[in-house]
Structure 1
Amino acid sequence: MPTLDDHDAEELVLLREEVKRLRQALNRLTPSLETILKRRGFRVYKKEPDDDLLVPDEPFRDSFFELLHKYSFRLLLRDIIKHQDRFTLEQVTRYSTTRVIRSYLGYLRDIRLITEGAAGYALSRAGITSFGPTLEWYIAELLKREFGAEVFWGVKFKRPKVGGDYDVLAKLDGSLLYVEVKSSPPKQVMAGEIAAFLDRVEDLAPETAVFLMDTELRMKDKLVPMFEQELAKRSSEPPPVLRLERELFHVQERIFIVNAKESIGRNLEKVIARYVQGRRGQ
């Protein structure tokens, strides 16, 4: 496979920055995300709750965001939340080397998310029950920073039939993107969650919807069959679930099923690119 030289790599970075700048300019010329939602009959009731959010103070957020790109760091945060009252280095060294985990813990101590004492470490903020809201925050920041999107996360609407939270909603080039974010492994996802996701897609009618699992495990083994079964319940001629590449799948190039293999950002980039290409062909 051909590799990029330094000049080509620099050109690619500049091109991505220009695309982001153009998207931001287009966002200013198109209706706001709130307006797009209102036109669909959706009024935001609540959004972006911070009661279960594990994010540092503003001066440290850029570096924290960069570390969240790493799957091993996200796995560590899940373990820390699980053992938040007290944990040792050994208890959270499951998915990376001792050296890497020790460096992560040192960083988290420096930004005051954890404390260190004679008995080990503890989470500085009590009562964090799930990594889910922090992962939603990260996806929202990723869409804002890397793709120039306007984003809401942790959104609640008052709807008569379809309830539940919309994890991440984004306006991209005037279109609506909905991302359902799962921080648990595939074995913990139930059929009812797939049904609820598809119900919300039908109710909201976004141009693109993504079911994103923060795992490097295969989607084909469990998630894809669950989508196929649920789609079959809704139509006598259900659309097929097709492979986009590797462990990325799509339904009619509108609903995408993705994991974190390679990187969440790269996989979202592929989804957005596929949607844009499909729209050009219409």
Structure 2
Amino acid sequence: MDPMLLLKAALMGVVEGLTEFIPVSSTGHLILTAALLDMPGEKTKVFEVVIQTGAILAIVSLYLQRLLSTVVGLPRDATAQRFTANVLIGFFPAALAGVLFIDVIKGVLFNPLVVALGFILGGFVMLWVEARQARQPSQRIDTVDAVGWRDALAVGLVQCLALVPGVSRSGATIIGAMAFGFSRRAATEFSFYLAIPMLFGAAAYDLYKQRELLSWADAPMFAVGLGVSWAAAWVCVRWLMRFVVSHTFVGFAWYRIAFGGLILLTAATGWVNWTP
């Protein structure tokens, strides 16, 4: 396979891994990166699904001990049962909305103005939530084990907003959870756990729908992208969990607003096609 194509696959993997779990929308960054690397077409969309799977595997590997202990304790451990129920409750609303409306969303909402507004408005909401938390530094939910089913449902409903292009699944769940009384660390960690069924399910659904585009000839490119995405996400998640202990998301908010402006500029000049 062409070494340049493998290099492009690695770069796409880096972008996916670094942006999937921070509140900036990996989709927008992958569209821009694909345009810069001249990687258009349906095959690239399948590739993006594959490298998203690599990012999710990073979460699984980092939290493997917690996940295994939950599975083992599920028959008799109340904490494991409550944790599993909360993840499933948080997963269900967006999963249902995605199955019902994803084709409409891609056909109607995926345009430069909506994507840019998703970034910009999401940034301002982030600033508002951070300002509110600064005024009320004591939060009622400090760990994921303190989450109740109503809290999980509320975050799950907010996660539905991530179906709008540019909003960001991580951004919606983290900032939504903070608005509902989660600490910054608890919100971030709960967002990670919600990502496992949400993104695995979305990847399986997309790969099934586009299975005719899969080819063994592309296996090296997919393998490189998946492996690099896993490594980049592994590093990013470990960094993010340390970051949220002593930092706010204000910097990410301003970055989102600036990136939204970049989307409008590149769309106006015709440099990037923001339609899937």
Structure richer in helix, relative to its length:
2
TM-score, scaled to structure 1:
0.28
Greater RCO (Cα-Cα under 8 Å, separation 6 or more): 2
TM-score (norm 2): 0.28
Larger radius of gyration: 1
